[in-house]
Amino acid sequence: MNADENDTKANNNTENNTSIKTNAGNLKALTATKMLRERARQHVEEGAVTTGYAADKEAVIGLLNDALATELVCVLRYKRHYFMAKGIYSESVKGEFLQHAKEEMAHADRIAKRITELGGEPNFSPDGLSSRSHAEYRPGDSLVSMIKEDLIAERIAIESYREFITYLGNDDPTTQRMIKEILAMEEEHADDMSSLLDGMRIKTD
């Protein structure tokens, strides 16, 4: 008996022993687990995507690339605002801009990683970046206009992520969970910008 046959026999013994110890319900669960494992093995070249993946993978990758572009545009806009913010009220606002830029970059990274898990390629090309993005790149020429532009961009991102979550339904729970977590942060960002805007109005009125 060669080494492979020995391995096969050992596996069969383990499975038989496990089967004997389980009741009918558990055996069914074991069979299901075995089937899941076999299916995962058959499609190992597809990476994290298994045959149980119910969504339209290409469409999801496309939507994720749009979300990636949105996040990258948000990074660039917040960075510009961080470096350009001037005036007596700018110090605390600058800190907020920088924090948001870092968080948008972290979102971009998560989205890019998910695209690769789905077997796609994250599009980091600067060509057409702003047209792929849902949110716009608006430089803003005053502190108030910068905050307003950021609030508008956050609201656009929030809307697009809500639609994305609805589109995914139960077909891709991993992507949906990630987008829900990002959405929660965009809502915080919008709230931050809204509070800053209120604060600026009080100070400048």
Q: What tokens appear for 192 in the block?
A: 């931050």
- Under the binding rule (CB under 5 A), the answer on residue 132 touching Fe ion is no
**CB under 5 A: which stretch of 77-85, 100-108, 112-120, 161-169 binds Fe ion?**
100-108
Closer by beta carbon to Fe ion, 37 or else 102:
102
Buried b (16+ CB within 10 A) or exposed e, 85-118: beeebbeebbebbbebbebbbebbebbbebbeeb
Closer by beta carbon to Fe ion, 107 or else 172:
107
- Under the binding rule (CB under 5 A), the answer on residue 107 touching Fe ion is yes
Indicate the DSSP class of residue 87: S
Q: Please list every residue from 3 through 62 that binds Fe ion, using CB under 5 A.
A: none
Interface characters, 147-186, with Fe ion (x: CB under 5 A):
-------x-------------------------------x
Residue 123 to residue 133: CA distance in whole angstroms = 11
- Under the binding rule (CB under 5 A), the answer on residue 192 touching Fe ion is no
- Under the binding rule (CB under 5 A), the answer on residue 189 touching Fe ion is yes
- Under the binding rule (CB under 5 A), the answer on residue 77 touching Fe ion is no
Residue 17 to residue 31: CA distance in whole angstroms = 14
- Under the binding rule (CB under 5 A), the answer on residue 80 touching Fe ion is no
Q: How far is the CB of 96 from Fe ion (least distance, A)?
A: 11
Residue 156 to residue 154: CA distance in whole angstroms = 5
- Under the binding rule (CB under 5 A), the answer on residue 96 touching Fe ion is no
Closer by beta carbon to Fe ion, 43 or else 79:
79
- Under the binding rule (CB under 5 A), the answer on residue 104 touching Fe ion is yes
Closer by beta carbon to Fe ion, 70 or else 143:
70
Give kind and range of the element (H or E) at residue 139: none
- Under the binding rule (CB under 5 A), the answer on residue 134 touching Fe ion is no
Indicate the DSSP class of residue 56: -
**CB under 5 A: which stretch of 4-12, 19-27, 71-79, 114-122 binds Fe ion?**
71-79
Binding site for Fe ion (CB under 5 A): 71, 104, 107, 154, 186, 189
